[in-house]
Chain A
Amino acid sequence: MGSLAAPLVEMVGISKEFPGVKALNGVHLKVERGEVHVLFGENGAGKSTLISILSGVFRPTSGAIRIAGNEVSFHSVHDAAKAGIGTVFQEFSLVPTLPVFENLYLGRELMRGPLTDRRAMLAGARKLFAELDFDIDVTRPASSLSRAQQQMVEIAKAFLSNARVLILDEPTASLTERETERLFGFIGKAAASGVGIIYISHRIQEFQKIADRISVLRDGRLIATVPARGTSEPELIELMTGRAVDQVYPKIAHRTDGAVVMTLQGIRTAGVHGASLEVRAGEVLGCAGLVGSGKSRIWRAAMGLQPLQAGKITLKGRDITGASTRALLEDGVFFLPSDRKSEGLQMTASARANIELSLLDRADFAGPLGLVRPRRSGALTDAIGDKVGIAKSAMDRAVSKLSGGNQQKVLFGKGFGDDRDVYILDEPTVGVDMGTRMALYQLIKDIAEAGKAVVVISSDLPEVMNLSHRLLVFAKGRIAAELSGAAITEENVLKHFFAETESAA
């Protein structure tokens, strides 16, 4: 079927619209046999959407897909798998309650007559893990594995299908350096045997070793496809952001004499094994680290969102250990959750209603009998909308219908109703476009320069490096390093990403 001359994968003019968001706009992508093709772009650029379309998760709004010259139309992941497309999705696709080997074969069980062939699947899983040199007991339930191990199972799952096209969506997000090296070994081997590989990443250092060609996506458009050799890092960044690096991140003035506003001492909680830190007024404190390093969970524990096992927390000199989330919010702490859809916003309510919700407790808006005074809170809501840059027309639309960027602005807006002292921002720009990002960075600059304390927790390394005055690098539930000023370099940060710190920082 198909001619050998035709490229292995050809995606032509792919567009995809979600309610309120144009995630992809006329994207072309060509992958040859034996090629490692990197999809590069910021969070929200549309990378995952593009490969989800190729994997049969979504159907494109328009555009065509050809595999080895034959036009295909996938209605499910199953269809795509049958056409030889194996995918490691960014979101985990393991069933926690099933053992590893059943997860591997889920959806393509080995059969003996009408019954599943348990023994053959066990043997197959063991053999594959031995080949891949993954040391995992395949009978353990997936829920008992660490994130890195789960990631390895995901990868094994994609290798199991003998795919012609192997797609890996940010597969190293929770792998150690050694595991990453090993993964690259397999990718090399697979490519040598003629498999076409689509590798998604936003970490440049990582993929330069393996990439043949790089396609850069920005705000749903294909910006360029360039050969990996001969394209420099600054060039790639400029392609990705559309701007030179120093234009994206504002220079935030640092007040070195800021008082300590909040302290976390000896914090222990699920995923954090003893970490202490201080937050100072007028300073941006960055928290970097791999997924699962504890950089976010320490704050969730401090905010009363997950149980604190040990440690002490103070706010403005007072011991507030164990205070409820509500008490902390009333005490002048603002927490911006990383998942706006499940924790941040009332998705079916309007932008206005979402912001107003944060104003309900303000005494000056309370009328007789504690009823809200709509006119007063309405005016403030409008002002907040202006400040964070939400268009008037967007204020009264359901949040679910807004773009990721506007949603994030609404989320930020919830922090401006009251005077706060500490702003804890967990992944402040996840899944938003470049324009919004710059606007949000400007907001962060304004907050910090107004003398507030800002904490930025981010998996986006350039972001957290460029915004922070002081940067904490988390690894394995501990603080592996504290860097400040000129010492915040990519090399320094990455060095500590995989640190095996035994002593509590």
Chain B
Amino acid sequence: MSMPTTTIAEDTAAPRRANAVLTGLRALFLRVGVLPFFLVATLIAFSLVSKEFLALQNLTNVARQSVYLILVSLGQMLALVTGGFDLSVGTAIALTSVVSALAMVTLSHMLPPDMLWLVIVLGCCAGLAAALVIGSINGLGIAVFGVSPFIMTLGVQSVGAGIALFLTGGVPVSGVPYEFGDVLGFGRVFDIPVPVLVAVVAASTIWLVMNRTRLGKHIQAVGGNAKAARLSGVNTTKVLFIAYALCALLASVAGLLLTARVGSGETNLGGTIALESIAACVIAGVSLHGGIGRVENVVLGGFFIVLLQNGMNIAQIGSYMQMVLLGSLLVLAVILDQVRYRLLVGER
């Protein structure tokens, strides 16, 4: 252990500091993935384009708009952590919207007006149940019959979209009780928008599930190494099934909130959310290989995607070009995930 002389220390201080920064960035990348880098880049880029972008008003707006994507991404994360993914989340939203709206419209004709709240609650339950069926079919195919998540959820996506269109004939279901939108869509509790509250509750619950329950650990184990999980006595079939069911349920909650917001049952509410939620998760460091993913990062990931869209709107980037950018970003994130996974788990 010899002391370095002062001159050498001065000569090497700069590169050493640069090295320390690099090591720090690498550690950050390994811990949380690409999100911090993307986030900083986005903030810098768009704040250069417009002053509006960083205004508190705009950011709270983005936070409020990102609620729906965050909810879906939380579910998507569960599927991703098991090592699969769910392409049918958009369908779960559409079906929830159509079924809950139809149920409310029908029930409000059958029940007296003073039972309006019962109508709304039953309508919501119907929507959740419809999504649960979607999730269960996914779970059944993937967990029990071993169908690849890609084919299973792609097929179910088409089935669900078809049913939603069939039920409505492609026309929005109108006549949803006004109070439904008033509370779930635009309501406030303690001056906090209801959708935001719902998302906070959902995110906290999923955090608890993933970090502090047996189910959460088993979901991580199945994605990390399914065979090892089975040999450790984990019921992998059950775990996979529950993951897909929960994923659909979370999408369904987003579907209810969106329905309340637009005030009618719509088949096109789920649009591109499958892609966006997968992008949000992967950018937030959820590995496509399974086993890795943190709830708090996914919340931030959902926020990031909406922030990006908001920034692109402000910068007046057309919606077609936005599709191109979002898709590219997803692919880039996946490539970086590949690198990160190799660094984390090593080549086996």
Which residues of chain A have a CB within 8 Å of any CB of chain B?
57, 76-78, 81, 87, 89, 91-98, 102-103, 106-109, 111, 114-116, 118, 141, 143, 157, 270, 306
Partner of B345, one of A57, A77, A97: A97
Chain B residue with the shortest CB-CB distance to A52:
B231
A91 and B214 contact, Cβ closer than 8 Å, known pairs A96-B345, A107-B233, A107-B234: no
Decide if B221 touches A77 in the complex (CB within 8 Å).
no
B217 interface residue (CB < 8 Å to A): yes
Chain A residue with the shortest CB-CB distance to B221:
A95
Given pairs A97-B344, A109-B217, A116-B212, 10 additional interface contacts (CB within 8 A): A77-B231, A77-B232, A81-B233, A95-B229, A96-B348, A97-B224, A98-B221, A98-B224, A114-B213, A115-B212
Instruction: Give 6 closest A-B pairs by Cβ, nearest first.
Output: A107-B233, A97-B291, A95-B224, A78-B233, A93-B231, A97-B224
Chain B residue with the shortest CB-CB distance to A121:
B217
Provide the bound-state CA to CA distance between A115 and B218, in Å. 13
Chain B residue with the shortest CB-CB distance to A94:
B228
A97 and B233 contact, Cβ closer than 8 Å, known pairs A109-B214, A116-B213, A116-B217: no
Provide the bound-state CA to CA distance between A273 and B219, in Å. 37
Partner of A98, one of B208, B220, B230: B220
B135 smallest CB distance to A (angstroms)? 22
B275 smallest CB distance to A (angstroms)? 25
Interface residues of B in 69-108 (CB under 8 A from A): none
A96 and B212 contact, Cβ closer than 8 Å, known pairs A76-B233, A77-B232, A81-B233: no
Looking at chain A's contact residues, is the secondary structure mostly helix, strand, loop, or mixed?
A: loop
Residues of B within 8 A of A270 (CB): 347
Provide the bound-state CA to CA distance between A108 and B235, in Å. 12
Residues of A within 8 A of B345 (CB): 96-97, 143
A93 and B213 contact, Cβ closer than 8 Å, known pairs A107-B233, A115-B208, A306-B347: no
B212 smallest CB distance to A (angstroms)? 4
B225 interface residue (CB < 8 Å to A): yes
B4 interface residue (CB < 8 Å to A): no
Residues of B within 8 A of A87 (CB): 231
B227 interface residue (CB < 8 Å to A): yes
Decide if A89 touches B220 in the complex (CB within 8 Å).
no
B210 smallest CB distance to A (angstroms)? 11
Chain B residue with the shortest CB-CB distance to A96:
B345
Chain A residue with the shortest CB-CB distance to B341:
A97
Which residues of chain B have a CB within 8 Å of any CB of chain A?
208, 212-214, 217-218, 220-221, 223-225, 227-235, 290-292, 344-348
Decide if A111 touches B231 in the complex (CB within 8 Å).
no
Chain A residue with the shortest CB-CB distance to B236:
A76
A61 smallest CB distance to B (angstroms)? 20
A483 smallest CB distance to B (angstroms)? 31
Provide the bound-state CA to CA distance between A114 and B208, in Å. 10
Provide the bound-state CA to CA distance between A76 and B234, in Å. 9
Decide if B232 touches A93 in the complex (CB within 8 Å).
yes
Decide if B232 touches A107 in the complex (CB within 8 Å).
yes
Residues of B within 8 A of A77 (CB): 230-233
Chain A residue with the shortest CB-CB distance to B220:
A98
Decide if A106 touches B235 in the complex (CB within 8 Å).
no
Provide the bound-state CA to CA distance between A57 and B236, in Å. 13
Provide the bound-state CA to CA distance between A114 and B214, in Å. 8
Decide if B291 touches A95 in the complex (CB within 8 Å).
yes
Provide the bound-state CA to CA distance between A306 and B347, in Å. 9
Residues of B within 8 A of A91 (CB): 227, 231
Provide the bound-state CA to CA distance between A259 and B348, in Å. 35
Most chain B CB atoms below 10 A, which of A92, A97, A306? A97
Decide if B212 touches A106 in the complex (CB within 8 Å).
no
A307 smallest CB distance to B (angstroms)? 9
Partner of B212, one of A76, A95, A118: A118
Decide if A78 touches B235 in the complex (CB within 8 Å).
yes
Provide the bound-state CA to CA distance between A79 and B299, in Å. 38
Provide the bound-state CA to CA distance between A275 and B237, in Å. 46
Most chain A CB atoms below 10 A, which of B212, B231, B292? B231
Provide the bound-state CA to CA distance between A13 and B348, in Å. 38
A299 smallest CB distance to B (angstroms)? 16
Partner of B344, one of A81, A92, A143: A143
Provide the bound-state CA to CA distance between A111 and B217, in Å. 12
B54 smallest CB distance to A (angstroms)? 36
Provide the bound-state CA to CA distance between A143 and B341, in Å. 11
A93 and B347 contact, Cβ closer than 8 Å, known pairs A81-B233, A98-B221, A107-B232: no
A106 and B234 contact, Cβ closer than 8 Å, known pairs A96-B291, A98-B224, A116-B212: yes
Decide if A96 touches B233 in the complex (CB within 8 Å).
no
Provide the bound-state CA to CA distance between A97 and B340, in Å. 13
Provide the bound-state CA to CA distance between A49 and B231, in Å. 14
Residues of A within 8 A of B344 (CB): 97, 141, 143
Decide if B225 touches A95 in the complex (CB within 8 Å).
yes
Chain A residue with the shortest CB-CB distance to B347:
A270
B287 smallest CB distance to A (angstroms)? 8
A sample of 15 cross-chain residue pairs with beta-carbon separation below 8 angstroms, ordered by A number, consists of: A57-B231, A91-B227, A92-B228, A94-B225, A96-B291, A97-B344, A97-B345, A98-B291, A103-B232, A106-B217, A106-B218, A106-B232, A109-B214, A143-B344, A157-B232
Chain B residue with the shortest CB-CB distance to A80:
B233
Residues of A within 8 A of B218 (CB): 106-107
Decide if A111 touches B235 in the complex (CB within 8 Å).
no
Provide the bound-state CA to CA distance between A239 and B222, in Å. 41
Residues of A within 8 A of B223 (CB): 97
Provide the bound-state CA to CA distance between A405 and B51, in Å. 72
Decide if B228 touches A93 in the complex (CB within 8 Å).
yes
Partner of A95, one of B213, B228, B347, B348: B228
Provide the bound-state CA to CA distance between A108 and B347, in Å. 29
Partner of A106, one of B229, B346, B348: B229
A143 and B346 contact, Cβ closer than 8 Å, known pairs A78-B233, A95-B228, A115-B212: yes
Chain B residue with the shortest CB-CB distance to A79:
B233
Chain B residue with the shortest CB-CB distance to A106:
B232
Decide if B292 touches A111 in the complex (CB within 8 Å).
no
B116 smallest CB distance to A (angstroms)? 35
Provide the bound-state CA to CA distance between A96 and B231, in Å. 14
Residues of B within 8 A of A81 (CB): 233
Chain B residue with the shortest CB-CB distance to A157:
B232
Residues of A within 8 A of B230 (CB): 76-77
A96 and B213 contact, Cβ closer than 8 Å, known pairs A76-B233, A107-B232: no
B10 smallest CB distance to A (angstroms)? 34
Chain B residue with the shortest CB-CB distance to A82:
B233
Residues of A within 8 A of B347 (CB): 270, 306
Residues of A within 8 A of B233 (CB): 76-78, 81, 106-108
Residues of A within 8 A of B348 (CB): 96
Decide if A95 touches B346 in the complex (CB within 8 Å).
no
Chain A residue with the shortest CB-CB distance to B228:
A93
Residues of B within 8 A of A306 (CB): 347
Residues of A within 8 A of B291 (CB): 95-98
A252 smallest CB distance to B (angstroms)? 35
A83 smallest CB distance to B (angstroms)? 12
Provide the bound-state CA to CA distance between A477 and B124, in Å. 62
Provide the bound-state CA to CA distance between A116 and B346, in Å. 29
B324 smallest CB distance to A (angstroms)? 33
Provide the bound-state CA to CA distance between A114 and B209, in Å. 10
Provide the bound-state CA to CA distance between A103 and B217, in Å. 10
Residues of B within 8 A of A115 (CB): 208, 212-213
A221 smallest CB distance to B (angstroms)? 26
